[in-house]
Structure 1
Amino acid sequence: MTVLFGTVEYFKREIYNYLNENQIKEISEDSLNAITSKLKKEILYDFVCDERIRLECLENLKYAISMITQSKEAVWV
């Protein structure tokens, strides 16, 4: 399945990839803040797009973070 940049699924996958690559077993506020900052920077400064799309990406990132923090899903292994 292809996951497109900027979708909620994309951001969830990126968050879990970051957690796995850094061998973080528990989802903490600090780890989520680190990956959120990285992804926001990518959206704001690296991704060339219309401002409307940029805002939609930021909203999707917020939604992905809230889904993860509410469910405290297990980190993929």
Structure 2
Amino acid sequence: MLFGTVEYFEREIYNYLNENQLKKISEDSLYVITSQLKKEILYDFVCDERIRLECLENLKYAISMMSQSKEAI
């Protein structure tokens, strides 16, 4: 799975939930995950600015989908 895709971010969210033994998606956990991933995109990932913006949009979409579903792991 490529860094920056919607699927990548969805997997990262589930990994975070599993690692922290969280059973449900909460606004707090999504905030923490979003902050970490945004930092990664903005400061650690070396790429063209167009790709960076696309990654941020994909992250926003993935977070939106996850917050709507609020499903258990």
* TM norm. shorter chain > 0.5: yes
Q: What is the rounded CA distance, in whole Å, between the counterparts of 2:57 and 2:5 in structure 1?
A: 9
Q: Equivalent of 2:40, from 39, 42, 54?
A: 42
The letter for the 1-side match of 2:26 is S
Alignment of 1:1-77 (within 5 A): 3-75=1-73
Task: Tell me which stretches of 4 or more aligned residues in structure 1 moved more than 3 Å.
Answer: none
- TM-score when scaled to structure 1? 0.91
RMSD of Structure 2 on Structure 1 (CA): 0.7
Task: Map Cα deviations across residues 47-70 of structure 1 (whole Å, 9 max, x no partner).
Answer: 000000000000000000011111
Tell me, yes or no, if the aligned pair for 2:26 and 2:70 is still in contact at 8 Å.
no
Unaligned runs of 5+ in 2: none
Tell me, yes or no, if the aligned pair for 2:24 and 2:71 is still in contact at 8 Å.
no
Report sequence identity in percent: 86
User: What is the CA-CA distance between 1:20 and the residue it aligns to?
Assistant: 0.4
